Structure 1
């Protein structure tokens, strides 16, 4: 798959004239994580593709073109930010919404986004065993996962990026309760509640 992707992206870029390449920004983003057959066991009991866990939401985003600095960033970007960012790159004004312009992150700056919110809802009759319906919200360190019909789960992604240890599994401490409340409030705001 990677070889095919590399070949086809190479063909696309090779088809552009030098002038077009100098005036083109290429954006590549993964969709819903790696196939579960590939990640089998890596995320413990959690599946990857199509879930609200990191394996289904923490996907690659690669941007290349004029004015884009080479390197990596830890800035938060959501797919809803693509429209706003692309509109800004073209000089258009995006309508107000949930998206933010992540262009500053392309030159070493920050997006101003301090959380990532995801949700996965669907028709249970079409569900696969790996489907996880509900929502999740993460900040720089913690992620709160709320699957439909289950107790919330809390992960410290700075120490446990694969979400193997639910901090709430053995009860909830005062500090954990404060983190959950903060993330629940942020999630309610993201959903417009």
Structure 2
């Protein structure tokens, strides 16, 4: 505001999905003027992007001259959305893909999402695939215990398209079997694992 003074500016609050650790701070925006908070549940989020009628569409959100592309990416959560920033090349996947425990709520939807992310990334310059967590240690296939708050030996957050392909290959190997399946860069937790 100091650099670009004006009376007001609008704020848009979007989510990658509706889990509590992603939407817990929404209440702080309740009475803020010129603010739109799109809740993280499927009806609200997918309705906002137009995914309810066409989950295969690529939606666009203009942040004031910077346009993000948005994809419906269920599997981890039914309302999951991935954002692509053409300016940076960042593919922002929330909890769908990151170097850690990939919790799969819907196996078939997760598989379609990973395929969609690969196909999408094949048509755009993606510099990094960025999720919201790191739960792995810097030792391949070894994660930190759940609820660990000090994780000094993590790998980098950013992943590559090659690692997306590795997730797809891992899914083919798992074949939908429930359980915890460790791989060098991620752990797929299918079901109650």
**Could you state the TM-score of these two structures normalised by the residue count of structure 1?**
0.26
**Could you state the TM-score of these two structures normalised by the residue count of structure 2?**
0.26
- Give the structure with higher Rg (CA): 1
